[in-house]
C-alpha cells in the first residue's frame, strides 16, 4: 500500500511503502519429523550425536551394549555425549536407569545483519571498518519523524524533542522513525544490524504522529530545535505535494547557518516524469538535498520522485532496519533511501570537518557514481551516493626557502603540494607557535622585528589532517635604503642588526659612511657582550644618566673595558679612531688561536698604545689596513667599518 498519496490539507506523510515482516534468508529453523516411523526407516542406520542423561550415575555397561562410545562425560548432570542410531537412542530411553535421551544439537553465535549495499556505496571491506574507517563520531544527526523507539537495544539516542500535541516524549508510536534511525545509527554490536554511521550523536525529533502525519508548523519547530541545539544534519523522510512559504524560509535560514537538510523526494506510482511526478516538498527547495531511491539493480523504481531538483539517490527497496518493540523490519520507499544519504553525509562531515556546508555538498555530489543519462538527470540526480575514501596524512611541503624583501618583510616560499592530495592550505609556525592557518598559496610573508626565527610549514588537507613540518632557520634584519645588499659591509650590518646590536636612525637610514662616536661604539660592544645597559649615573661628568649609552659606559668602565681621558671626561660625542676601536675590542674579546701572520703597517710603531692589539687583529684578518700599507690608526671609524670590525671579532672570538 502506498502511504504517500494519502493527505489531509497541509500535512506531511512518511515517505515509505508498507512492507510485511518476513524472515531473513540467513535465518534457519530446526527441521521437525511429522512421521516418526517413516523417518526412522530412512535413517535407521545413520548415527547422530546424542546426550544420554541417567537417573543415578552413568551406566557405562549399558552404553557399551548399544555400541555407544563415550565422547565426553557431563558429571554434574550424570550424562554422557555419544553417537547413536535413532533406533538405539529410542531403545536406550526406555530403560528405567535412563532419565532421557536427546539430540546433541549445534549452536552458533548471533551475528549482525550485513548491509548488502556497502560495497556498492564505496564502503571498505567489513574487516577494515572497525579499526580505520569513519563512523560519524562527533557528528550530531537529527531524525525529524515519528520519533525513535527509546527502548530499542540496537539504538542509542542522545536526546530529542516532541512537537506533537499530546505526545510528551519522542518515543516512536508508529515505527517509521525507528526504521529510519536504524539505517543511520544502529549500534555496532553482536546482534541486529549495523547502521552506516553508528557513532553519530542521534537525536529523535518527533514531528509526525502515530499515523505518520504532521503539519508544516511542526516540521518548522523541529528544524528550529535542530539549529538551536547545533545539530549538523537532519533527516526528513517525509514529503508533501504542497509547498509552504514559511517552511521554505525555515529551511533556507537553517541552511545559511550550516545545517545540512536531507529530505525524501517523495513516492509516486510510475516512472514517467511529469508535473505530478515531481520532487515533493521540502526536498524540492534548493537548500535541501533531494534524495531518490534505486533498487538492488541500480534502477529507478516505480515510486521514486523525479525531477530537475533531484540531487542524489540511494538504496530504497526492501531495506532491513530497526522497528518498534525492539524488532526489525523490511520497508521500501524514498524514506529508506534518505537515511542512507544522511548517514554518508555524517561520514563526510567527520572526514572533512573544515569544509563549509556548500563545499561538503559539492564534494559529495562530485563523488557520486553516475547512473542513467550522463551527468545530472531527473531520475538519478548526480548519481548513487558514495562513502568517502579514508583520508591520508598529506606530505610535508618541500623546498622551503626564505628571503628578506626590500620592504623589510621576511618571505617564505615552498613547492606546492600536488593537487590530487586535496590540500586545503598551509599552516605557518614561528618558533613553535602557529601564526597563520590554511594559507592558500605556497608563499607567506610578514613584517617582524630583526632577529633569528625558526619557521615551520605544514600542509593541511580537506579532512583537517596536517603533514609533518618542514622547517627553516631564518635571520631577519632591517633593509636600509642608503646601501645595497651587494656592498662589501652589508652582510656584517645585517648580522649585527639581526642580533639587535645595531640599528638605523629614526628616518630608516643607516648612514654607513658617517663616523661613529665613542658612545655609539661602546653601546654596540656592550650590547654584543650582553652587558647591563640600564641608563644610570657614571663616573664621568660628561656622561649623564640621560645619555642613551650611559649604562654601557658605566658597565664597561667598571669592568676595565673602556677608559676615559686624563681630564676625567669620557667625551662620548667624540668620533672614535681606528686604533681606539681595536684597543676596545682587544680588551673586550679574547680571540681564537690563529695561524695567520700579523701585518706590518708603516704608520704604526711598536710604541703605539694599540700596537699589540693591531698585530693580533691583523693576524686574525679582522683589521686589514689599506692598500698603501698603512692602517691609519687615528682615522675616524665609520658606522659600516665599526660593523665589520665588531662582527668579525665576534666570529673570531672564543
The yes-or-no answer on residue 145 being catalytic is yes
How many CB atoms neighbour CB 437 within 10 A? Answer: 12
Query: Cα separation of 479 and 404, whole Å?
Result: 8
Residues 6+ apart with CB under 8 A from 179: 16, 319, 321, 322, 323, 329, 331, 335, 336
Whether 179 is a known active-site residue: answer no
Q: What is the DSSP letter of 387?
A: P
Which H or E run contains 456? strand 451-461
Going edge to edge, which strands form the sheet with 11-14?
213-215, 11-14, 238-239
Rounded Cα–Cα distance for residues 292 and 379 (Å): 8
Helices 611-619 and 578-588, axial angle in degrees (round to 10)? 80
Of 59, 145, 209, 586, which one is the catalytic site residue? 145
User: Which three-class secondary structure state does DSSP give residue 426?
Assistant: strand
Task: Give the gyration radius of the chain's Cα atoms.
Answer: 43
CB 580 within 8 A of CB 610: yes
List CB contacts of 610: < 8 A, sequence separation 6 or more: 579, 580, 582, 583, 586, 633
Known active-site residue 188: no
Give the 3-state DSSP-derived string for 163-197, with helices as H, strands as E and coil as C: CCCCCCCCCCCCCHHHHHHHHHHCCCCCCCECCCC
In the numeric block, the cell 657614571 is attached to: 538
Q: Strands, DSSP E only, in 1-156? A: 11-14, 47-54, 70-74, 79-85, 98-103, 140-145
What sign for the dihedral angle of Cα 302, 303, 309, 310?
Answer: negative
Q: Distance (Å, rounded) from C-alpha 233 to C-alpha 224?
A: 12
75 Cβ neighbours under 8 A, 6+ residues apart? none
- Burial string for 312-345 (b: 16+ CB within 10 Å, else e) reads bbbbbbebbbbbbeeebbbbbbbbbbbbbbbbbb
**Spatial distance between the Cα atoms of 264 and 17, rounded to a whole number of angstroms:** 13
- Catalytic choice (152, 176, 216, 268): 176
Backbone angles phi, psi at 254, to 5 degrees: -65, -40
Residue 508 CB: number of other CB atoms within 10 A? 12
Cβ(287)–Cβ(255) below 8 Å: yes
Q: How many CB atoms are located within 10 Å of the residue 131 CB?
A: 6
Count of alpha carbons within 13 angstroms of residue 383, beta-carbon side: 18
Within 13 A of 111's CA, how many CA atoms are on the CB side? 9
Catalytic residue, chosen from 162, 335, 346, 640, is: 335
Spatial CA neighbour of 214 closest among 360, 9, 498: 9
Distance, CA of 81 to CA of 109 (rounded, Å)? 22
Q: In what order do the strands lie in the sheet with 140-145?
A: 157-162, 201-206, 140-145, 233-236, 260-264, 289-294, 312-315
Cell of 547: 645619555
Cα angle at 589 between 585 and 594, to 5 degrees? 100
The catalytic residues are: 145, 176, 335
Amino acid at each position: 500500500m502506498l502511504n504517500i498519496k494519502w493527505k489531509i490539507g497541509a500535512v506531511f506523510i512518511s515517505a515509505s511503502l508498507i512492507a510485511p515482516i518476513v524472515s531473513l534468508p540467513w535465518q534457519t529453523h530446526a527441521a521437525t519429523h511429522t512421521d516418526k516411523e517413516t523417518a526412522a526407516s530412512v535413517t535407521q542406520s545413520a548415527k547422530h550425536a546424542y546426550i544420554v542423561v541417567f537417573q543415578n550415575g552413568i551406566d557405562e555397561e549399558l552404553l557399551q551394549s548399544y555400541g555407544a562410545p563415550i565422547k565426553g562425560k557431563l558429571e554434574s548432570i550424570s550424562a554422557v555425549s555419544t553417537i547413536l542410531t535413532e533406533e538405539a537412542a529410542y531403545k536406550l530411553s526406555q530403560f528405567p536407569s535412563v532419565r532421557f535421551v536427546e539430540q546433541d544439537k549445534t549452536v552458533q553465535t548471533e551475528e549482525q545483519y550485513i548491509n548488502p549495499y556497502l560495497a556498492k556505496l564505496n564502503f571498505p571491506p567489513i574487516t577494515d571498518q572497525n579499526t580505520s574507517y569513519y563512523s560519524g563520531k562527533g557528528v550530531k544527526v537529527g531524525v525529524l519523524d515519528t520519533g525513535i523507539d527509546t527502548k530499542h537495544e540496537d539504538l542509542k539516542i542522545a536526546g530529542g524533542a516532541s512537537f506533537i500535541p499530546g505526545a510528551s516524549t519522542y518515543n516512536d508510536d508508529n515505527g517509521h522513525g525507528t526504521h529510519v534511525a536504524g539505517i543511520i545509527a544502529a549500534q555496532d554490536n553482536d546482534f541486529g544490524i549495523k547502521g552506516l554511521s553508528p557513532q553519530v550523536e542521534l537525536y529523535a525529533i518527533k514531528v509526525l504522529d502515530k499515523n505518520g502525519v504532521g503539519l508544516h508548523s511542526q516540521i518548522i519547530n523541529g528544524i528550529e530545535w535542530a539549529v538551536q541545539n547545533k545539530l549538523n544534519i537532519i533527516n526528513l523522510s517525509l514529503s508533501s505535494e504542497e509547498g509552504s512559504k514559511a517552511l521554505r524560509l525555515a529551511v533556507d535560514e537553517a541552511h545559511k547557518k550550516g545545517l545540512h537538510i536531507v529530505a525524501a523526494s517523495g513516492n509516486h506510482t510510475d516512472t514517467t516524469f511529469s508535473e505530478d511526478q515531481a520532487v515533493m516538498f521540502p526536498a524540492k527547495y534548493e537548500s535541501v538535498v533531494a534524495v531518490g531511491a534505486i533498487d538492488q539493480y541500480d534502477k529507478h523504481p516505480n515510486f521514486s520522485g523525479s525531477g530537475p531538483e533531484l540531487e542524489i539517490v540511494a538504496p530504497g527497496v526492501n531495506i532491513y532496519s530497526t522497528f518498534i518493540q525492539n524488532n526489525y523490519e523490511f520497508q521500501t520507499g524514498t524514506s529508506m533511501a534518505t537515511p542512507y544519504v544522511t548517514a554518508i553525509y555524517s561520514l563526510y562531515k567527520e572526514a572533512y570537518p573544515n569544509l563549509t556546508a556548500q563545499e561538503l555538498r559539492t564534494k559529495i555530489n562530485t563523488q557520486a557514481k553516475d547512473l542513467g543519462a550522463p551527468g545530472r538527470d531527473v531520475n538519478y540526480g548526480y548519481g548513487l551516493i558514495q562513502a568517502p575514501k579514508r583520508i591520508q596524512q598529506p606530505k610535508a611541503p618541500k623546498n622551503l626557502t626564505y628571503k628578506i624583501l626590500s620592504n623589510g618583510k621576511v618571505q617564505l616560499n615552498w613547492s606546492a603540494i600536488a593537487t590530487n592530495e586535496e590540500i586545503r592550505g598551509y599552516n605557518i609556525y614561528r618558533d613553535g607557535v602557529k601564526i597563520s592557518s590554511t594559507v592558500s598559496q605556497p608563499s607567506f610573508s610578514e613584517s617582524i622585528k630583526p632577529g633569528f626565527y625558526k619557521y615551520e610549514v605544514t600542509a593541511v588537507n580537506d579532512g583537517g589532517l596536517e603533514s609533518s613540518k618542514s622547517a627553516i632557520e631564518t635571520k631577519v634584519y632591517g633593509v636600509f635604503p642608503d646601501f645595497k645588499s651587494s656592498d662589501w659591509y652589508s652582510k656584517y650590518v645585517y648580522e649585527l642588526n639581526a642580533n639587535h646590536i645595531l640599528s638605523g636612525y629614526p628616518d630608516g637610514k643607516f648612514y654607513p659612511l658617517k663616523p661613529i662616536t665613542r658612545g655609539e661604539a661602546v653601546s654596540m660592544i656592550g650590547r654584543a657582550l650582553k652587558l647591563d645597559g640600564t641608563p644610570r649615573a657614571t663616573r664621568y661628568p660628561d656622561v649623564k644618566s640621560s645619555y642613551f649609552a650611559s649604562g654601557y659606559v658605566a658597565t664597561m668602565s667598571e669592568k676595565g673595558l673602556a677608559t676615559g681621558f686624563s681630564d676625567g671626561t669620557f667625551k662620548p660625542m667624540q668620533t672614535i679612531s681606528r686604533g681606539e676601536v681595536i684597543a676596545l675590542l682587544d680588551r673586550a674579546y679574547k680571540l681564537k688561536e690563529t695561524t695567520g701572520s700579523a701585518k706590518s703597517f708603516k704608520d704604526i710603531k711598536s710604541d703605539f698604545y694599540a700596537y699589540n692589539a693591531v698585530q693580533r687583529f691583523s693576524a686574525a684578518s679582522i683589521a686589514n689596513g689599506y692598500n698603501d700599507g698603512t692602517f691609519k690608526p687615528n682615522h675616524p671609524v665609520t658606522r659600516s667599518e665599526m660593523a665589520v670590525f665588531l662582527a668579525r671579532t665576534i666570529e673570531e672570538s672564543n
